[in-house]
Amino acid sequence: MGLVTAIRDRSARAARRALILISGVAFLLIGIGFLTSAAWIMLEEVYSAAAASAILSGVYAGVGLVAIAIASSSAKRELRTPERPVQQDPAETLQPGVTPPLVQAFLIGLNAALAARGRGPTSL
């Protein structure tokens, strides 16, 4: 039952983090709404309603364009990552007496399961 408990704990922590993140984004959006309202009132008193809407729309459009530029530049950087050299050709035949890594991983898991049930380990 240790695995089930660990998975349950991880999912509970992930759900808690997601809920905190969603509430943080909601509060941030509410704050931006009030900030926009306050900026509108101040700009309307100094200028006109048309100027206030032009200024605020320009600010939001500028922030959006900067965010798009940052996102597109990071995507280009990810595409330019150097490729790792291939260490071993998968079509190559293995030498006699060498156990493939997939078989080794299977045997490790099988031995762990047998040890958990109180049985002895297996060998190749």
Amino acid in the structure at residue 70: I
Residues 6+ apart with CB under 8 A from 27: none
How far is residue 45's CA from residue 21's CA, in Å, rounded to a whole number?
36
- The answer to whether the predicted template modeling score (pTM) of the entire model surpasses 0.75 is no
Amino acid in the structure at residue 107: L
Contact at 8 Å (CB) between 104 and 94? no
How far is residue 63's CA from residue 100's CA, in Å, rounded to a whole number?
53
* pLDDT tens-digit profile, the chain (124 residues): 678 888 888 999 999 999 999 999 999 999 999 999 999 999 999 999 999 999 999 999 998 899 888 888 865 665 665 666 556 555 566 566 677 778 888 888 888 888 888 776 666 5
